[in-house]
């Protein structure tokens, strides 16, 4: 199949893995460990909606570390090779290194990584690395402190995130990737400064088109800075050339600086959809399995697990959900689909 990776072609046991209705197999699992976040980024959890009175999930409704590990092990048994820990903001989950240690011990996990806003990395980077975390991605939408404070919604200084990135480097987490969501009229002027900084620091920058995830971020198409415009800006300052994907289904288009000084990528789910090669599943903090970032609902795995379902029964449920998957929202995005119900990003991870 066109969606099979090189790894699958050399592992005969993966021939029996579930394929969805478009021939895509499951390769990545994104695990949200909390729906809470200490930021209120305007494109994800705007403060005017997610204020002090907002009712996040009570602790009893969130998967325990043991439950997360059990489900992760079942997904790995179905061919998942990459686990990404997300939120909300995952570092607000207490004792997170304990979970990393458990997940790192699962046989078959080839890549264990985490996406964070970087606010707690000075304290946590070392313990996370010692527990078995291999890589890290940090969200950073501007180096301009005023712009950054305005976008994170809680007046958090950019210097503390930069210090967290330094801590991650000191802990040996590499390569470090930086995610920058670009929103027209807000931070497009930060593209070149962030690109220059990431290049000089040896970091991999991923610029992300502003996406219509959920219904609370005020998304409008005219606020999307398209991939073509982003690349033209960078190429004019620091010439680029195309790189091939690292693996089938990689979401970022990759580009190398022509002088050999690093690379940059663009995640263009609005203007250059990549649904056809999507191999990601998402597990929410409350144990719902989602098969698309733009999904309206998920399949409950927590309830049957807590009611005593066997591993075989849970695997059968996961297989059944994946087998009927036909998600390709970004390819179908129109003015009409923009009003369809969708889960919020903080609930299932980005």
Segment 102-138, tens digit of pLDDT? 999 999 999 999 999 999 999 999 999 999 999 999 9
Residue range 237-258: mean pLDDT, rounded:
89
Q: Is residue 171 part of a domain?
A: yes
> Across 44-53, 242-251, 277-286, 291-300, which has the greatest mean pLDDT?
277-286
Sheet of strand 240-243: strand arrangement? 240-243, 253-257, 263-267, 204-209, 176-182, 135-139, 111-116, 82-86, 28-32, 280-283, 288-290, 299-300
Among 86-95, 125-134, 171-180, 286-295, the range scoring the smallest mean pLDDT is 286-295
The pLDDT value recorded for residue 148 is 98
Residue range 260-276: mean pLDDT, rounded:
86
Q: Is residue 8 part of a domain?
A: no
Q: Is residue 205 part of a domain?
A: yes
What's the domain range around 244? 23-348
Q: Would the pLDDT of 290 be above 90?
A: yes
Q: Is residue 196 part of a domain?
A: yes
The pLDDT value recorded for residue 348 is 65
Question: How many domains does the chain contain in total?
Answer: 1
The pLDDT value recorded for residue 246 is 82
Residue range 262-275: mean pLDDT, rounded:
86
The pLDDT value recorded for residue 113 is 97
Mapped to the 3 state alphabet, what secondary structure does 246-265 carry? CCCCCCCEEEEECCCCCEEE
The pLDDT value recorded for residue 256 is 96
Mean pLDDT, rounded, of the chain: 88
Residue range 11-34: mean pLDDT, rounded:
79
CATH (domain of 157):
3.20.20.70
Token pair belonging to 335: 């003015």
Confidence band for 48, pLDDT divided at 50, 70 and 90? confident
Estimate the crossing angle of helix 121-131 against helix 96-104, to 10 degrees: 30
What residue spans of the chain are helical by DSSP H? 6-9, 65-77, 96-104, 121-131, 145-152, 158-170, 191-201, 227-237, 302-306, 311-323, 329-332, 345-348
Task: Name the CA radius of gyration of the chain, rounded.
Answer: 19
The pLDDT value recorded for residue 9 is 34
Q: Is residue 11 part of a domain?
A: no
| Whole-prediction pTM | 0.88
Q: Is residue 6 part of a domain?
A: no
- Per-residue model confidence as pLDDT tens digits over 135-185: 999 999 999 999 999 999 999 999 999 999 999 999 999 999 999 999 999
Q: Is residue 182 part of a domain?
A: yes
The pLDDT value recorded for residue 7 is 35
The pLDDT value recorded for residue 335 is 46
Confidence band for 53, pLDDT divided at 50, 70 and 90? confident
Q: Is residue 143 part of a domain?
A: yes
């Amino acid at each position: 199949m066109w969606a099979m990776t090189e790894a699958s072609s050399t592992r005969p046991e993966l021939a029996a893995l579930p394929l969805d209705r478009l021939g895509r197999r499951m390769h990545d699992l994104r695990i949200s460990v909390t729906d809470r976040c200490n930021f209120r980024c305007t494109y994800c959890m705007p403060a005017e909606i997610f204020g002090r009175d907002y009712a996040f999930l009570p602790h009893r409704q969130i998967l325990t570390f043991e439950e997360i590990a059990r489900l992760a092990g079942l997904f790995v048994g179905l061919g998942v090779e990459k686990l990404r820990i997300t939120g909300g903001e995952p570092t607000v989950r207490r004792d997170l290194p304990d979970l990393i240690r458990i997940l790192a011990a699962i046989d078959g996990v080839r890549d264990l990584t985490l996406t964070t806003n970087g606010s707690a990395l000075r304290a946590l980077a070392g313990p996370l690395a010692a527990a078995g975390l291999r890589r890290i991605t940090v969200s950073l939408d501007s180096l301009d402190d005023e712009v950054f404070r305005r976008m994170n919604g809680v007046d958090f200084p950019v210097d503390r995130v930069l210090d967290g990135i330094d801590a991650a480097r000191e802990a040996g987490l590499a390569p470090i990737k930086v995610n920058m969501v670009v929103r027209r009229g807000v931070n497009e002027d930060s593209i070149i400064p962030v690109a220059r900084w990431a290049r000089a620091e040896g970091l991999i920058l991923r610029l992300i088109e502003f996406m219509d995830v959920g219904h609370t971020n005020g998304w409008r198409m005219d606020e999307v800075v398209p991939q073509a415009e982003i690349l033209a800006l960078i190429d004019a300052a620091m010439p680029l050339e195309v790189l091939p994907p690292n693996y089938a289904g990689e979401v970022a288009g990759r580009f190398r600086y022509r002088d050999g000084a690093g690379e940059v990528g663009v995640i263009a789910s609005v203007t250059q959809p990549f649904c056809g090669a999507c191999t990601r599943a998402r597990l929410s903090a409350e144990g719902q399995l989602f098969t698309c970032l733009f999904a309206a609902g998920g399949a409950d795995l927590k309830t049957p697990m807590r009611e005593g379902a066997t591993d075989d029964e849970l695997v059968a449920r996961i297989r059944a959900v994946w087998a009927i998957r036909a998600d390709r929202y970004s390819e179908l995005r129109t003015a009409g689909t923009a009003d369809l119900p969708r889960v919020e990003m903080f609930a299932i991870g980005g």
